[in-house]
Amino acid sequence: MSTTSDQGAGRVAVITGASSGIGEATARALAASGHRLALLARRGDRIRALADEVGNGAIAIEADVTDRDSISKAAARVKAELGGTDILVNNAGIMLLAPFTADGHDDHRRMIEANLLGAMTVTEVFLDQLRDGSGDLVNLSSVAGRTARPGNAVYAATKWGLNGWSEALRQELQPDVRVIVIEPGAVATELTDHITYPDAKHAAEQMYKQLAITADDIAEVIAFAVTRPQRMSLNEILVRPTAQA
C-alpha cells in the first residue's frame, strides 16, 4: 500500500479528534503525502504541537464536535486560511462500554452526541466546502457498526447509525463527494481509557493488550483511500487485527 506526495499535494484535510490516536496518526500520514491540514480537537496544546511537527502550514483549532458554534468558527477559519476543505475526516468519538441500564443515561447521551450527532454536525458545516472541492468525506465507524455484543449496545447503535447515514450520503452526494467509511476493530488508542464500568474496562484492556493493531495501521488505510483516482471510491473498509474474533 502506497501513497505519493503528488496525489495529496495541496489538498486540505480537516481532521476531528486530531489530538490522539487515529486522528493524530492520520494527520502524520496525510502530511507525509503532501496534504495541508486543519487539526480540530478540544485539547489545544496537543494539536498545536502536532501542527508544529507536521508543518506545511498546518493549523490547530480548538473545537468540540458537540458545539456547533465552535465548528462553524473552525470552518470559517479553514476557508480563510487554507482556502477550503477537500477532505473531512470525522474521527472524534468515545466508547463507554457497560451493560444497558438507566444508570448509564448520561454516558449514552455522550456517545450519541459525539459519535453520531457530532459527525453529522461537522459534515453539515463543512459540506459546501467539500462540494466545492470534489471532496472526500471519511467517517470513522467501527466493527461494532456491523456486530453488536453485550455491553456495547449504545456504542454499537451510534456506529450502525453512522454506517446507515454514510450510505445514504454516498448516494446523495455522488459524484461530487466520495463517502468513505472506515470500520476498525481493536486499535491501540486512548479509547478504552474512558470506560468507567470496571468489568467492561478490564475486558477491553485485556483484549486490546493481546491483539490490537496500531493507529498508524488505520491511518495508512485512510491515506490510501483518499489518494485513489477520483474515478473510483473505496466506500467501506473493514480493518480487524488478524487475531480478532
Positive or negative, the CA dihedral 17, 13, 234, 171 is: positive
Contact yes or no for 183/238 (Cβ under 8 A): yes
Contact yes or no for 123/40 (Cβ under 8 A): no
pLDDT one-digit tens code per residue, 36-48: 999 999 999 999 9
Q: Residue 216 domain-assigned?
A: yes
What whole-number distance in Å separates Cα of residue 100 and Cα of residue 16? 28
Number of structural domains (the chain) is 1
Q: Residue 164 domain-assigned?
A: yes
Q: Residue 244 domain-assigned?
A: no
Would you give the distance in Å from CA 99 to the centre of its chain?
25
Instruction: Give the SS3 label for residue 214.
Output: strand
H/E segment holding residue 40: strand 36-41
* Statement: residue 133 has pLDDT above 90: no
Q: Residue 161 domain-assigned?
A: yes
* Dihedral (Cα; 57, 62, 67, 73), 10-degree rounding: -40
- The CATH number of residue 37's host domain is 3.40.50.720
pLDDT one-digit tens code per residue, 72-111: 999 999 999 999 999 999 999 999 999 999 999 999 999 9
* Statement: residue 5 has pLDDT above 50: no
Bridge pairing between strands 36-41 and 59-62: parallel
- pLDDT band, residue 2 (cuts 50/70/90): very low
Q: What single-letter DSSP state applies at residue 2?
A: -
In the structure grid, which three cell numbers stand for residue 4, read together? 505519493
pLDDT one-digit tens code per residue, 145-195: 999 999 999 999 999 999 999 999 999 999 999 999 999 999 999 999 999
Task: Give the domain extent around 54.
Answer: 5-239
Catalytic residues: 155
In the structure grid, which three cell numbers stand for residue 204, read together? 477491553
- pLDDT band, residue 67 (cuts 50/70/90): very high
Q: Residue 17 domain-assigned?
A: yes
Q: Residue 162 domain-assigned?
A: yes
What whole-number distance in Å separates Cα of residue 134 and Cα of residue 85? 9
Q: Residue 217 domain-assigned?
A: yes
Q: Residue 245 domain-assigned?
A: no
Nearest 5°: the CA angle 44, 60, 20 is 60
